[in-house]
């Protein structure tokens, strides 16, 4: 009989399943428009996903961080796609994204 995933393993799987398409979208936005900070955010999230799968201590804190990133990442992508000038964001929004990037890094 196959072993059941633990709650922790299920959380890892669910977060990875949600964040992976977001990373694909971010890479596409970066390739198409080259907006500032997008590549840094994507690479940092990729590193966090890889790290959280191997971490032994502080898993709950790491999961909470990934869940917070998930909650911010999708609205960020939506905001970018729905901006008045596709591929361009107002300076105030870019400043907020820069702060988010610093937080994630």
CA–CA distance, 50 with 9 (Å, rounded to integer): 13
Between helix 59-81 and helix 7-33 the angle, nearest 10°, is 30
Structure tokens at 82: 């729905």
- Answer for the pair 57, 9: CB distance below 8 angstroms, yes or no: no
Cα→Cα distances 25→7, 9, 38, 68, 81, Å = 28, 25, 10, 18, 10
Tens digit of each residue's pLDDT (9 = 90 or more) over 15-72: 888 888 888 888 888 888 887 778 888 888 888 888 877 776 777 777 788 888 888 7
For the chain, domain boundaries: 7-104
Residue 98: pLDDT band (50, 70, 90) is confident
Burial degree of 57 (CB within 10 A; 0-12, 13-18, 19+)? exposed
């Amino acid at each position: 009989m196959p072993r059941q995933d633990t709650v922790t393993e299920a959380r890892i799987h669910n977060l990875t399943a949600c964040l992976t398409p977001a990373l694909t979208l971010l890479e596409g936005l970066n390739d198409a428009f080259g907006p500032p900070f997008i590549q840094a955010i994507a690479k940092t999230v990729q590193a966090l996903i890889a790290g959280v799968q191997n971490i032994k201590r502080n898993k709950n804190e790491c999961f909470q961080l990934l869940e917070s990133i998930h909650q911010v990442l999708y609205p960020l992508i939506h905001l970018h796609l729905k901006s008045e000038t596709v591929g361009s964001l107002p300076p105030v929004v870019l400043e907020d994204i820069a702060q988010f990037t610093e937080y994630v890094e």
